Amino acid sequence: MYAATLGAFEGTALDLTGLDPSDRHSYRQVAVRGWAPAHGTQLCPGCLADSGIWKTAWRLLLVTTCTDHGVVLVAEYPSCCRPFRDQRHSYLRRVGATPVCGNPLGKGPVKQCQHDLTTLPTAPASPAVLATQARIDSALAGRHVPVLGRPARPAAYLADLRHLSTLLLHLAGQPGAETLAAWVLQLAAVTADRTADRGPRWGLRPPDHPRIRAGALATADAILAGADVDTAAGLLTPWTELTPTTNDGPLGWLADRTVMTPALTRLVMAARAPHRRLSHHLDTPRTDGAPMPINLLVIPQVTPHEQYVEHLAGASDSTEATVRLFASLSLARLHPDVTSWAAAAEALGMPGPMGVRCARACSATMRVTADEWEDRIRRAIEETPRRDYRATAAKIRHRLWMSRWFDEWARHCRPSTRDSSQPHALTWQWVNVAHAHLDLSPAWHGKKPTAKDRARYRQFEKSLDEGQQLQLAVAIKRRAPNPPAG
């Protein structure tokens, strides 16, 4: 008998604290927590046809799909537009457990609808919705569910899922949300019906249609199922960028429209981080006639000093080296195939973590808007010498095991140079011709240079006059192939 009631979900999907069975008004203490079951139930026609059993879980608003038959649940009878088993005053129904509608027809208590519910049409559920429902079913069974890369208690997972879905439902009402998910368009009509002076209160009662709830839950679950906070925050960022401008600020607006659990707080704070907001801007195509994304091969690992002085100085409070590296990473983010700072670094031949660290450091100190930063880096790359920087870096890397080029340069330009200076000459070409990062010079043999290594290189660099620098650069420039167009 207990398993046949909603009390079976106490501690997982429901918090029934304060509910007194002898006081029907105490139900309000449960209802104000949000997403509480109301009158009636949903159903799966296939399950009723197979076993005739009305599952208690169908009453939960977190349940939207039947994983056995792969269909979205049906929430109301099409002709009367009322939930199934919508009997508010009688504990027992004249139709019993038979698979017929049984809703009153408005002709007295005896007249009830006798339509066979097993014949109702159903709609197939998408793979994402089915995967979400499988995780929900696992939590309802008392099993832990991975959230942000760690196992979470069933009640914690279901609470995070519900509150994140509530937040997404509110954000779905903002301009531009229709491009993020298909269910947003379906929500618009429901929102119009519920909108009053303060708008729909999705935290108390989500959309009645299971398909809309299934879409919102699937979107929220895909975020929570991220391997870590960084991955999940990247998925949430396009949604949080829709936050309207208010006196309370973006975080205030978001916090007012859901319950900020510890996991959700971490997630929202990470999604609102400056480097993720800038990455979302760079990933979003502009509609003001901006040029197409450039070829990744023409982007150096580090934007040249001349272009920094001309276009990038003053854009950030970070050091010149950090800003020059961040400018190249930002240019790589303009390519449609590059969707993260780690991928931007890898596209330029650098380790992924280096790109993430640089983005976090520099984006937090930006002094210009995202639009102005994009305009500046585009002007900088237009004036950067055009060549295939990956091929140039490969040629310099290959010269690590050759000495003829160094001997010829030293004999004609600097006879007093020692053979031990060859790694420094190679590093100079790496930094000034390939415009690659100093720490990645092949002269370090895959290790991070020490402070002494850097000091010795800087001493060698300062000792070169203009003629020696020119001759050291010419040998590489003459042989570096031109990049393909586009």
Q: Nearest to residue 281, comparing CAs of 381, 148, 176?
A: 176
pLDDT tens-place values along the chain, 486 residues long: 888 888 899 989 998 888 888 888 888 888 888 998 877 889 999 999 998 888 999 999 999 999 999 999 998 877 666 778 776 555 556 666 778 877 777 666 567 777 888 889 999 999 999 999 999 999 999 999 999 999 999 999 999 999 999 999 999 999 989 999 999 999 988 887 776 556 788 999 999 899 999 999 999 999 999 999 988 998 999 999 899 988 888 889 999 999 999 999 999 998 888 877 788 888 877 655 555 567 899 999 999 999 999 999 999 999 999 999 999 999 999 998 898 899 999 999 999 999 999 998 998 888 988 889 999 999 999 999 998 999 999 999 988 888 888 888 888 888 888 888 899 999 999 999 999 999 999 999 989 999 999 999 999 999 999 988 888 888 665 444 444 444
List the chain domain ranges: 127-280, 287-382, 389-479
Chain-centroid distance of CA 236 in Å reads: 4
Distances (CA, A) of 316 to 143, 283, 300, 303, 360: 48, 20, 20, 15, 12
Name 459's Cβ contacts closer than 8 Å, sequence gap at least 6: none
**Rounded Cα gap, residues 127 and 139, in angstroms:** 19
